[in-house]
Structure 1
Amino acid sequence: MAPLQALSLLLLASLASSAASGYRSTLTHIDSKLGFTKAQLMRRAVHRSRLRAASMLPGYSTTLSSSNAGPRLRSGQAEYLMELAIGTPPVPFVALADTGSDLTWTQCQPCKLCFPQDTPVYDPTTSSSFSPVPCSSATCLSIWSRNCTPTALCRYRYGYEDGAYSAGGLGTETITFGSSAPGEAPAASAGGVAFGCGTDNGGDSYNSTGTVGLGRGSLSLVAQLGVGKFSYCLTDFFNTSLGSPLPAMPDMVLHFAGGADMTLHRDNYMSSDEEDSSFCLNIAGATSTSTSVLGNFQQQNIQMLFDITVGQMSFVPTDCSKL
C-alpha cells in the first residue's frame, strides 16, 4: 500500500508581487514514510485528533509553565510537513505547516536543546543572507517586549498548547520554495523573511525541523510574503487506486452560515478497519462548550482557499492528485 500521497500548498501572490504566479510548496503527511498499516494510520490520526480536541477544552493545561512559555497557542499538532529551504546557500527546511500559529521557526546552531533531525541543523553563521532582528524593531514587538534595550537583539519563546515550544533569537532570512529538479516547477525565493532561530526546542517534532506559521498575524509567512490568499488541496488519505472497500453510502452535506454547503462523499467521512472487519464514522462528537473542527480527513479532494484579507474561506471539489 502507498498511503498518504503528497499534496500541494499554493501561496497566491498579488499582481504587484515579484512572484506574480505565487509560491508553491509540496506537503507530505507526517506518517507517509513510516510504513504503517491502514489501521495504524487511522489510530495515530485519531490519537492526535483527540489531543488537539482536548487542548481546546476549558481548563486544559500542559507541563510547560505559562510564566516561561510566552504566547500560548492552541495549535502545535500539525498533520502535514512543508518542504522548503532556508539561507544562502539553502539548507533543507522540513517544517510542520500550521494554520493556527504565526511564527516560522527552525532549529539553529548552536543548539542548547534540539530534537534529532535527518538534515543538517541550520547555522546562521554560514548563511550570507541571515540578519539578526534588533529588540527595538517593530517586528520584535509582535513577539517580545520584555527587558528590551536599544542595543539588544530580539529574543522569543513560543509555547504551544500541546506542550511543544521553541526559544531563541529572531532573525531574517531567505526562504526558498519548490525544487530545481527536472519536471518540477522552478524554485522561487523570498528574502527578508522574519523567523525564529530556535536553539532551545522541545515537544513532538513529527520528523520536522521546525514550523511554518500560516496564521492571520503579522509574523505569519502569508502576511510577510504580501500575499492575500493561500490554498491547499489534500489528496486521498489512503491509496484508493484499487477501489474502496466501503459499501455504497449517501453523501453527507455540511451547511455553513451564509448558505454554503460542503458535500462529503463516502470516503470523506467513513473508513474501514480490515483487521476487525468494521466500518468507522470518522467524525467525533463535541461538547456544547468546545469548538467545532473541520478535519483534514473531511477535506480530501476539496481545494480549500483562505482569503486572509477579508477573513473568508471558500472551497470547491477537486481531484487534488491532478493539480
Structure 2
Amino acid sequence: MGIIISKLSCRSRPCQGLRDDLRLCDSVSSTIKPKRCDYAYAYVDMSYTFGVLSSDTFTFASAESHSRSVSLRFPKSTFGCVHTTNGSFDSHAAGVVGLGNGPLSLITQLGDQIHHKFSYCLLPVTSNTTSKLRFGKHAVLTGKGLVSTPMFFEPEDPSYYLKLEAVSIGKKKIVNSQLTPAGKGNIVCDSGASLIFLKTDFYNQVEAAVRDAISLKAIKSPDPESNFKLCYDTRSFDRYPEIKIVFHFSGASVTLKTVNTFLGDEKITCLAMAATEGDPFFGNLAQINFQVEYDLASKKVSFVPADCSKY
C-alpha cells in the first residue's frame, strides 16, 4: 500500500502561515482550481530547497516501546515535500526538521501533545552513531550540573534567544557590552548553525583572550575567505592542556571543552568562533555532549553535561 500525501493549496491555512517571501503563489489565483502551495527556502550557508507544502501523518517510535513495537501517530501534519535541493547534505540526510517557534515547525504542530518541550544531545562529528531527539516528558532534564536560562522571543522570528552576559577564558572574564532591554535576548541558541558567532567587538576581545591563554604560535587559515581567524598547527595544539571557556548566560554558566570551541583536522585546528554584524549564534558545536532542553511553556533553555553516546 502506497503513502498518500495531500498537496496543499495556496488558499490553505498552512500556506498562509508561510512568510510572503517564501510562498510562490500568484497574487491572482484561480477561484475554480486554487494553485498548489509551492515554496522556496534558502539558508545563510547558500543551501536551498524548493518544494510543495503538503500534509500527511507523522509516525514516531515511542521511547516507551523498549522490546514492544509502539508508535505515535500525528495525522494531518504539514511538511515540505521537496523536489529540488542543494546544500551540505550527505547520503545519510534527507532534509531539515523545523525545531523553531514558527507556525509550521514540527514543535509548534506537536504543541500540547508534547507539552511544548523537546531536547537533544548532539554527538561529536567524529561519532559513528546518531544524535537523539526527545519530546514531551521524555525531554525533561535532571542531573548534576543542570543549569537553566530564560528564553526570549521576537515577533515574526522563530528563533530562540538567550541573554549572554559574559565569556570567561581561564581566569579572565569579558563582559558582553551588547546591551539589551528587559525581556529581550542577544544571542540565538541554534542547533542548525555550526559555529559560535559573536558581535565583532566582543569576538575580538574573546579571540585576544584565547590567544593570550594559549602560548603557541598562531598560523593563518589556508582559506582567506574562511570564518576562522585563530588557528594552530594541530600537532602542537594536541599537546596543549585544555583551557576553560565559560559562557555566562543569565542565571546559567555553561563550561565548554575543546570539542565545543575548536575545530580541525590532522594539520590545522581553529577556534570555532567567528565575528558577525548580524545576530550572534550559539551553534551546534558549542552544544556537543550537552543535553539541551527547550521548554517553550516555561520559556527556558536548560543544559546539563553528558556523554551523548549514552543518551
Please give the TM-score of this superposition, normalised by the length of structure 1.
0.49
Give the share of equivalent positions with the same residue, in percent: 32
CA contact (8 A) 1:169 1:196 kept: yes
From 244, 249, 252, give the equivalent of 2:242.
249
Distance 2:264 2:87 in 1: 31
AA in 1 matched with 2:242: M
User: Compared with structure 1, are the counterparts of its residues 218 and 309 closer, same or farther at alpha carbon in structure 2 (3 Å cutoff)?
Assistant: farther
User: Compared with structure 1, are the counterparts of its residues 210 and 147 closer, same or farther at alpha carbon in structure 2 (3 Å cutoff)?
Assistant: farther
Greater gyration radius:
2
Q: What is the CA-CA distance between 1:261 and the residue it aligns to?
A: 0.7
Instruction: Describe the SS at the equivalent of 1:196.
Output: strand
Partner of 1:136: 11
Instruction: Describe the SS at the equivalent of 1:212.
Output: coil
Partner of 1:160: 42
Instruction: Describe the SS at the equivalent of 1:304.
Output: strand
CA contact (8 A) 2:10 2:16 kept: yes
Instruction: Describe the SS at the equivalent of 2:287.
Output: coil
Q: What is the CA-CA distance between 1:218 and the residue it aligns to?
A: 0.9
Partner of 1:263: 255
AA in 2 matched with 1:292: P
Instruction: Describe the SS at the equivalent of 1:268.
Output: helix
Does structure 1 residue 188 correspond to structure 2 residue 72?
A: yes
Instruction: Describe the SS at the equivalent of 1:225.
Output: helix
CA contact (8 A) 1:170 1:197 kept: yes
Partner of 1:284: 273
Distance 1:216 1:318 in 2: 26
CA contact (8 A) 1:136 1:149 kept: no
Does structure 1 residue 171 correspond to structure 2 residue 159?
A: no
Instruction: Describe the SS at the equivalent of 1:199.
Output: strand
Distance 2:254 2:127 in 1: 23
Q: How does 1:214-229 map to 2 (within 5 A)?
A: 214-226=99-111, 227=114, 228-229=116-117
Partner of 1:94: none
Please give the TM-score of this superposition, normalised by the length of structure 2.
0.51
Instruction: Describe the SS at the equivalent of 1:267.
Output: helix
Q: What is the CA-CA distance between 1:220 and the residue it aligns to?
A: 0.6
Q: What is the CA-CA distance between 1:271 and the residue it aligns to?
A: 5.6
Higher mean alpha-carbon deviation, 289-298 vs 212-221, is at: 289-298
Distance 2:245 2:296 in 1: 28
- For structure 2, list consecutive stretches of 5 or more residues without a partner in the other structure: 129-236
Distance 2:259 2:87 in 1: 32
CA contact (8 A) 2:7 2:37 kept: no
Instruction: Describe the SS at the equivalent of 1:139.
Output: helix
User: Compared with structure 1, are the counterparts of its residues 194 and 246 closer, same or farther at alpha carbon in structure 2 (3 Å cutoff)?
Assistant: farther
Partner of 1:238: 126
CA offsets 1:172-221 (integer angstroms, 9 cap, x no match): 10222249998598443322111222334444543333332222111111
User: Compared with structure 1, are the counterparts of its residues 205 and 271 closer, same or farther at alpha carbon in structure 2 (3 Å cutoff)?
Assistant: closer
Partner of 1:41: none
Q: What is the CA-CA distance between 1:138 and the residue it aligns to?
A: 1.4
Distance 2:253 2:87 in 1: 37
AA in 2 matched with 1:255: H
AA in 1 matched with 2:287: Q
Instruction: Describe the SS at the equivalent of 1:263.
Output: strand
Distance 1:137 1:286 in 2: 41
Higher relative contact order (Cα pairs below 8 Å, separated by 6+ residues): 1
CA contact (8 A) 1:302 1:319 kept: yes
Instruction: Describe the SS at the equivalent of 2:291.
Output: strand
Distance 1:157 1:272 in 2: 36
Distance 2:107 2:278 in 1: 28
Higher mean alpha-carbon deviation, 197-206 vs 152-161, is at: 197-206
Does structure 1 residue 298 correspond to structure 2 residue 174?
A: no
Distance 2:39 2:254 in 1: 38
AA in 2 matched with 1:176: T
Distance 1:273 1:166 in 2: 30
- Considering only aligned residues, what root-mean-square deviation do their CA atoms show, in Å? 3.4
